Amino acid sequence: MMDSFIHFLLHRFFVTGDPMIYGADASIALASIGIVVVVTYLKKWKWLWKEWLTSVDHKKIGIMYIIAALLMLFRGGVDALMMRTQLALPNMHFLTSEHYNQVFTTHGTIMIIFVAMPFIFGLMNIAVPLQIGARDVAFPFLNALSFWLFFFGAMLFNISFVIGGSPDAGWSSYAPYAELSMNPGVGQNYYLVGVQIAGIGSLASGINFLVTILKMRAPGMTLFKMPMFTWSILITSVIIIFAFPAFTVALALMSIDRLFGAHFFTIASGGSPMLWANLFWFWGHPEVYIVLLPVFGVFSEVIATFSHKTLFGYAVMVWSMVAISIIGFVTWLHHFFTMGNTAEVNAFFSISTAIIAIPTGVKIFNWLFTMNKGRIEFSTAMLWALAFIPNFTIGGVTGVMLALAPADYQYHNSYFLVAHFHSVLIAGPVFGIFCGLYYWWPKMFGYMLNERQGKLAFWVFMISFNICFMPMYIVGLLGMTRRMYTYPAGMGWTPFNFIETIGAFGMGAGFLIIAYNIVWSTLKGKRDTTGDPWNGRTLEWSIPSPAPEYNFATIPTVSARDAFAVAKTQEDQENKKERQLFQPIHMPNNSGIPIIMSLFMFIAGFGLVWEWYWMVIPGAIGIVVCMIVRSFQYNDHHIISIEEIERTERAAGRLS
């Protein structure tokens, strides 16, 4: 009994045998102990619980998303560097083939679902309510629940590499590779359950932000007076609501296959692996726009602000995003042109994919015209936005090349594809996220990130990005395929691979400079006392930095686009400094239920992964109990008095 238990622990439960895993075990243990010791020493547990872990404030939730995403970016980046080390030279023995499969799977999944998504959710949490003159999102409690579901989903996915083993069927998790017969063990279960839990949170966020933007705008802010970032989030929310259910269903069906012996995606008993491919990409392609449209919004704000001009072609920008979101739902099949569709079907999806380039190109011209004759200020945020344009265009053009179905038979699953999707995913979401971070950082924390360090990080990262990915296009055309753990010498690939690895480590260095910049600026950064460090155009810059709990002491009335830019010129003319009339403000109470309920989700999820139903049942009961408790909480608001508002506004220099 005891023997078999120990055997289970050493051979199935803990991942053993690899020195890198022991290193990871030790660093996870040390980091956890370190955090507990520091928080206990500083007596900060209560503060952490009351101010952060139970917060329903969109600004704090946004910050927590961004911290989590930065940590996940570190993990995904370490995965990337491990792959690039293995591929630097032919016949390397740094990773085994099994380990390499796990690393590209966790890298892809983490980068898309646990890095790009939470960064986007972070930025939208921080900026959208402030841009529309609201005091919070429509459903603050649900917003906290979304965050914690994302967080515990990510944790569940991440522990796989020390407990039980990582998934290894690729981020796209195709059947039959991902099915039980070919993929025994718990790794793939971690993918299915971890991503599912996070996905429920994402779907809830989509609903939350759709309602927030439709119902909570300040008086006078019609849809066509909204800032472009808010527009991008409105459209993204609609895409989330239509796309995520397909993924939810696909993950659930594959879980049923693996855990309960069904055959939805296996040929046995009449299942179909193509059903997985279709459901996955029906979510997966729109997902690309879910992480891309928001950064189009960020770039629009940043380019207008630092060109000191209003955005060129506002309505065209909006309609092109609407077009992208609709066409984005009829292109999914371009991910499997080579999997046996008829020529007619391939032709349809080839054309629809190429058509998407039109509205995207239109937006590029709008940004260029916005800068035309503008007084351009080369801040760090603006540099990221400027670099996005050429780098992203390269990804767009190579995407159109891949969209040509007959040609795709040549490029498909080669490094040309790997280079293409990193061109769009890095020059788009990653540049956009860094751009948004430098832009909104003062609004989030009340101090600026150092601009000199920021520019250094920008140049290091941007140049290294090109060193890393440009050779991949060539080596792909020379025949090197993706998901290949090693290659022989004499293929003509070695110099390209070596250069790519140098670029990858350069990108790692760029990221470390950003991390350094964050730490340095937290200690010594310039304070933003004005609330408007960039001479901003939208409402978030009209309130103090960081914004008070209630955001707006009085809800603004909006009469034009670029509401704050317009208000600033009028104030100058009339020079009015009249005393504002405050009203008491209702704000939602903090709640421990989102984090506790998500923890139960984690417990139930862990039980499902291991098929331990004695663990699933208490987890499920806990979830239901949380729901019942919540439904009896009638008094979930508190009131901020006029005196307190006056005190806060005076401290921020807004009242004399």
Residue nearest to ligand HEM as judged by C-beta position: 108
285 or 309: CB nearest Cu ion:
285
Residues 6+ apart with CB under 8 A from 423: 391, 392, 394, 395, 398, 469
Among 8-16, 368-376, 479-487, 638-646, the segment contacting ligand HEM (CB under 6 A)? 479-487
DSSP class per residue in 440-473: HHHHHHSBPPPHHHHHHHHHHHHHHHHHHHHHHH
Contact with ligand HEM (CB under 6 A) among 61, 69, 82, 116 = 116
Residue 285 touches which of Cu ion, ligand HEM, none (Cβ within 5-8 Å per kind): Cu ion
Which of 562, 566, 118, 528 minimizes the C-alpha distance to 301? 562
Minimum CB distance to ligand HEM, residue 477 (Å): 16
Instruction: Answer yes or no whether residue 108 interacts with ligand HEM by CB under 6 A.
Output: yes
- The span of 44-52, 123-131, 167-175, 226-234 binding ligand HEM (CB under 6 A) equals 167-175
Among 123, 124, 386, 425, interactor with ligand HEM by CB under 6 A: 425
**Of these partners, ligand HEM, Cu ion, none, which one is at the site of residue 483 (CB under 5 to 8 Å by kind)?**
ligand HEM
DSSP assignment of 266-309 equals STGGG--HHHHHHHHHHHHHHHHHHHHHHHHHHHHHHHHHHHTS
The listed partner (Cu ion, ligand HEM, none) that binds 170, CB under 5 to 8 Å by sort, is: ligand HEM
Does the protein bind ligand HEM through residue 482 (CB under 6 A)?
Answer: yes
77 binds ligand HEM (CB under 6 A): yes
Helix (H, G, I), strand (E, B) or coil at 527: strand
Decide if residue 191 touches ligand HEM (CB under 6 A).
no
For residue 87, the minimal CB distance to ligand HEM (Å) is 7
Across the chain, how many H-helices and E-strands are there? 22, 2
Q: Tokens for 461?
A: 């990262």
- Segment 285 to 304, residues that bind Cu ion, using CB under 5 A: 285
CA dihedral 171, 594, 442, 367 (to 10 degrees): 40
Site for ligand HEM in 498-537 (CB under 6 A): 504, 507
Among 348-356, 419-427, 440-448, 520-528, the segment contacting ligand HEM (CB under 6 A): 419-427
Examine residue 171 and tell whether it contacts ligand HEM (CB under 6 A).
Answer: yes
Which residue has tokens 């529309």? 132
Q: Contact, 646 vs 585, CB < 8 A?
A: no
Give the per-residue contact string, 372-411, with ligand HEM (x = CB under 6 A; - = no): ----------------------------------------
Binding to ligand HEM (CB under 6 A) within 434-473 occurs at 468
Which residues are CB-contacts of 239 (< 8 A; sequence separation ≥ 6)?
Answer: 206, 286, 289, 290, 293, 325, 328
Residue 104 near ligand HEM by CB under 6 A: yes
In angstroms, what is the minimal distance from the CB of 286 to Cu ion?
A: 9
Phi/psi of residue 447, each to 5°?
A: -140, 160
- Between CA 65 and CA 71, with CA 69 as vertex, the angle to 5 degrees is 125
Name every residue whose Cβ is closer than 8 Å to that of residue 240 and which is 6 or more positions away in sequence. 202, 203, 205, 206, 290
The count of other CB atoms within 10 Å of the CB of residue 544 is 21
What DSSP designation does 114 have? I
Q: Which residues bind Cu ion (CB under 5 A)?
A: 285
Residues forming contacts to ligand HEM in the complex (CB under 6 A) are 77, 80, 83-84, 104-105, 107-108, 111-112, 115-116, 170-172, 418, 422, 425-426, 429-430, 468, 482-484, 504, 507
